[in-house]
Chain A
């Protein structure tokens, strides 16, 4: 029924008997802890690798706690803020476009939003920087535009996929339209919507790496410094940190999908 990442099929069929259910959960628990274990392993490996090198004064400038933390937090802010803004705008728009009164506008809106996604991310960032200005704020706008589509589309798909007979039953019992949306349509659309949000997060954490080119900071800056100064250790550190962050965020999003999926579906 719903778009899910693999490995969660077991949950879809959670049986009435609790015994079966808990066994299925045990199996997926192993999967849940595998990813963080691997990520921590990668970080330790990176730490040991950097420490095995004798760093020169150029390398020491980026490869210290203060520099890395600043850019790591910037990266998180870029990703987090843009995703929150996407959620706050794309979900309401998706809801609006699936209401009967607005349904006719949806192809037009989808076409426009699609342009945002079709343009390469770096081009979008640069274009926004040229149109408006460089810096954190405009990078956020570019990220929002770029990751808008998956959330919008999945919100719409999730809502459209809700069985019409459920809405008929709900209306027939005397639920008002807003109540049907809140109690029936949205809860049932959550899995599909969450998949869209997860995609947006992944897009944003990756694209935020490019935000350094419009002076918006982030871990991309670490890679950029490494490349410009021709210091491999720095480049690798930046790249591994971005990769680990992206995987960690994906893992968290997967966890959220699992927790937020209503029981019974």
Chain B
């Protein structure tokens, strides 16, 4: 049942919940009522909603820690509603807010729990433990033999994630995994988690009550109301741009247009272009370029095309190499929100965007960013038929 622990991990499997219902004995109201939800393979789907909405109950029904009263759970092509729950859970990663590392076991033994349940041989387990520790950013040699209490909260949850990934399950359930961690560490863990997910591509059901976390982490967000009723199920961009109803609008709160900038990666938008001159080029050449492009300034790059500074036609007299004010340089993986921040910090209106080697790729003007939010309505209309990834959205919720 478990995949071998070679370094290439198995991707996710689709999860389908069909008419899933949970009625707790002795309670009048239904905890989860006839929920239909499809969680696409390899995506992070965040279940978010006010406390008591049934989001945790829903998640816990996927690995049947809570047995559904009726309905079906399908993972991949397999209906697991009636299969052996212990066997089922061994192939579903499980991460909880309290982490739940066993204090009497070393870090290595904690991670090895499920591999041992599945009867892996010692050598393979030990290799896998080291591999996972490195994967979550903990040095295996240092942490393998330690006990959980010797680790900080953030480190413990790293181990929690490693433990959940031990047998490379296609599906992971995460119940507010970063909820008990201080804000700074939480932010770092979230970023690392996103980076990790890019390589492991698991199907992840993530429960939180924090809409900011949902927007940051989710490929899709299911906003749940009472009885786990799906108020809206869509990408964060779409939810911010078009809240389906008042419940959703209230839940996401104000400031949606600025927040949506934080979802727009520079890699996904069309960048502005600016004239580029090499450091080695002559002042005359720079002047010609500026005149031809009718722009007021040019970007100076070095021989590796790394941005070095701006040059206006007016200060070209001073030569090519002297400085021309602060330079906002951002990486393609950053967001429009980051650009906005950087521009506010440097007091500039234009930022240079570079690729992973630091080479010039394009630029982004403040006007362009403003146009993104201002023209959001128009963009939104166009958005409906286009690929979500290339869209720039940022309208005020209507």
CB–CB B146/A188 < 8 A: no
Instruction: Tell me, yes or no, whether A262 is within 8 Å of chain B by CB.
Output: yes
A16-B146, A174-B89, A175-B86 in contact; A184/B114 too (CB < 8 A)? no
Instruction: Tell me, yes or no, whether B147 is within 8 Å of chain A by CB.
Output: yes
The tally of residues in A whose CB lies under 8 Å from a CB in B reads 23
Instruction: Tell me, yes or no, whether A169 is within 8 Å of chain B by CB.
Output: yes
Task: Return chain B residues, CB-CB under 8 Å to A265.
Answer: 103-104, 149
Instruction: Tell me, yes or no, whether B136 is within 8 Å of chain A by CB.
Output: no
CA distance A172 to B101 in the complex (A): 12
CB–CB B117/A175 < 8 A: yes
Task: Return chain A residues, CB-CB under 8 Å to B146.
Answer: 16
CB–CB A174/B86 < 8 A: yes
A16-B146, A263-B147 in contact; A173/B94 too (CB < 8 A)? yes
B172 CB → nearest A CB, Å? 11
CB–CB A264/B147 < 8 A: yes
CA distance A264 to B106 in the complex (A): 8
CA distance A187 to B104 in the complex (A): 8
Task: Return chain A residues, CB-CB under 8 Å to B97.
Answer: 165
> What residue of chain B has the Cβ atom nearest to residue A179's Cβ?
B117
CB–CB B113/A175 < 8 A: yes
CB–CB B114/A174 < 8 A: yes
A165-B96, A188-B103 in contact; A173/B148 too (CB < 8 A)? no
CB–CB A262/B104 < 8 A: yes
Select one of B65, B101, B117 contacting A168, CB under 8 A: B65
Task: Return chain A residues, CB-CB under 8 Å to B114.
Answer: 173-174
B184 CB → nearest A CB, Å? 23
CB–CB B98/A163 < 8 A: yes
CB–CB A174/B88 < 8 A: yes
A173 CB → nearest B CB, Å? 5
Task: Return chain A residues, CB-CB under 8 Å to B173.
Answer: 172
CB–CB A176/B86 < 8 A: yes
A103 CB → nearest B CB, Å? 16
CA distance A231 to B91 in the complex (A): 75
CA distance A170 to B98 in the complex (A): 12
Instruction: Tell me, yes or no, whether A27 is within 8 Å of chain B by CB.
Output: no
CA distance A170 to B114 in the complex (A): 9
> What residue of chain A has the Cβ atom nearest to residue B105's Cβ?
A264
CB–CB A172/B96 < 8 A: yes
Select one of B100, B104, B117 contacting A169, CB under 8 A: B100
Instruction: Tell me, yes or no, whether B81 is within 8 Å of chain A by CB.
Output: no
CB–CB B89/A172 < 8 A: yes
B110 CB → nearest A CB, Å? 9
CB–CB A172/B102 < 8 A: no
Select one of A165, A168, A172, A264 contacting B104, CB under 8 A: A264
Instruction: Tell me, yes or no, whether A166 is within 8 Å of chain B by CB.
Output: yes
Interface hits, B95-133 → A, CB 8 Å:
96-106, 113-114, 117
Task: Return chain A residues, CB-CB under 8 Å to B106.
Answer: 264
Instruction: Tell me, yes or no, whether B87 is within 8 Å of chain A by CB.
Output: yes
> What residue of chain A has the Cβ atom nearest to residue B151's Cβ?
A16
Instruction: Tell me, yes or no, whether B390 is within 8 Å of chain A by CB.
Output: no
Interface hits, A149-175 → B, CB 8 Å:
163, 165-166, 168-175
A166-B102, A188-B104 in contact; A264/B96 too (CB < 8 A)? no
Task: Return chain A residues, CB-CB under 8 Å to B86.
Answer: 174-176
> What residue of chain A has the Cβ atom nearest to residue B89's Cβ?
A174
Instruction: Tell me, yes or no, whether B63 is within 8 Å of chain A by CB.
Output: yes
B289 CB → nearest A CB, Å? 61
CB–CB B89/A165 < 8 A: no
B83 CB → nearest A CB, Å? 12
Task: Return chain A residues, CB-CB under 8 Å to B63.
Answer: 172
CA distance A265 to B101 in the complex (A): 12
Task: Return chain B residues, CB-CB under 8 Å to A16.
Answer: 146-147, 150
A16-B146, A16-B150, A264-B148 in contact; A168/B87 too (CB < 8 A)? no
Task: Return chain B residues, CB-CB under 8 Å to A174.
Answer: 86-91, 114, 117
CA distance A92 to B260 in the complex (A): 59
CB–CB A264/B103 < 8 A: yes
Interface hits, A58-76 → B, CB 8 Å:
none
CA distance A187 to B93 in the complex (A): 24
CA distance A133 to B340 in the complex (A): 92
A4 CB → nearest B CB, Å? 15
CB–CB A169/B96 < 8 A: yes
CA distance A173 to B173 in the complex (A): 11
Interface string of A173-206 (1 = CB under 8 A from B): 1111001000110011000000000000000000
B82 CB → nearest A CB, Å? 16
Task: Return chain A residues, CB-CB under 8 Å to B101.
Answer: 169
Task: Return chain A residues, CB-CB under 8 Å to B98.
Answer: 163, 165, 168-169
CA distance A172 to B100 in the complex (A): 10
Interface hits, B210-237 → A, CB 8 Å:
none
CB–CB B88/A168 < 8 A: no
A188-B104, A264-B106, A264-B148 in contact; A173/B96 too (CB < 8 A)? no
Task: Return chain B residues, CB-CB under 8 Å to A169.
Answer: 94, 96, 98-102
CA distance A22 to B89 in the complex (A): 41
Interface string of A254-265 (1 = CB under 8 A from B): 000000001111
CB–CB A166/B100 < 8 A: yes
Interface string of A231-265 (1 = CB under 8 A from B): 00000000000000000000000000000001111
15 contacts between A and B (CB under 8 A): A165-B99, A168-B98, A169-B94, A169-B98, A170-B102, A172-B89, A172-B96, A173-B90, A173-B163, A174-B90, A174-B114, A175-B86, A175-B113, A176-B86, A188-B102
Footprint of A on B, CB under 8 Å?
A: 63, 65, 86-91, 94, 96-106, 113-114, 117, 146-150, 163, 173
Extra 20 A-B pairs, beta carbons < 8 Å, given A166-B103, A169-B102, A176-B86: A16-B146, A169-B100, A170-B102, A172-B63, A172-B65, A172-B94, A172-B96, A172-B173, A173-B89, A173-B114, A174-B88, A174-B90, A174-B117, A175-B86, A175-B113, A175-B117, A188-B102, A263-B104, A264-B106, A265-B104
4 A-B pairs closest in CB distance: A169-B100, A264-B147, A174-B90, A165-B98
